[in-house]
């Protein structure tokens, strides 16, 4: 399978704990995006990387959220001191940008439940 993969697929945690999610993009894709999707809503943009550089992070929901893509390949999204309101599906997408043309391909998501 050469699509975007995300791990874990499901995470249950207690309020106040830290969680980390991993995304492996499609090989050779230079952009990687993180989105959050709450029940009954469309995905909401959080942040994105061009290779290893994080070019937009103002949409991260709070300073408890952080993301890395250290070698320009896989990425991690960390949520510190989780709150019940963080319960959602976290989606990763990757793309290969050629000029101005780009299509984002999404992974299956990580569903987070904060108790």
Indicate which single residue of 36, 107, 112, 114 sits in contact with other proteins (rule: CB under 8 A): 107
Closest CB 81 distance from other proteins, rounded Å: 26
Largest CA distance in the chain: 44
3-state SS class at 76: strand
- From its phi and psi, is residue 74 left (phi > 0), alpha (psi between -120 and 50) or beta? beta
2 binds other proteins (CB under 8 A): no
Indicate which single residue of 1, 40, 71, 98 sits in contact with other proteins (rule: CB under 8 A): 40
Backbone angles phi, psi at 85, to 5 degrees: -70, -10
Q: Which residues bind other proteins (CB under 8 A)?
A: 4, 6, 31, 33, 35, 40-45, 48, 55-56, 58-59, 91, 93, 97, 100-109, 111
């Amino acid at each position: 399978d050469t699509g975007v993969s995300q791990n874990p697929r499901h995470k249950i945690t207690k309020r106040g704990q830290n969680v980390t999610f991993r995304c492996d993009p499609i090989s050779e894709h230079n952009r990687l995006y993180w989105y959050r999707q709450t029940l009954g809503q469309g995905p909401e943009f959080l942040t994105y990387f061009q290779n290893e550089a994080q070019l937009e992070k103002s949409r991260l929901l709070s300073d408890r959220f952080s993301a890395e893509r250290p070698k320009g390949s896989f990425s991690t999204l960390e949520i510190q001191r989780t709150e019940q309101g963080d319960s959602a599906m976290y989606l990763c997408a990757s793309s290969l940008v050629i000029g101005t043309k780009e299509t984002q391909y999404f992974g299956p998501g990580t569903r987070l439940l904060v108790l």
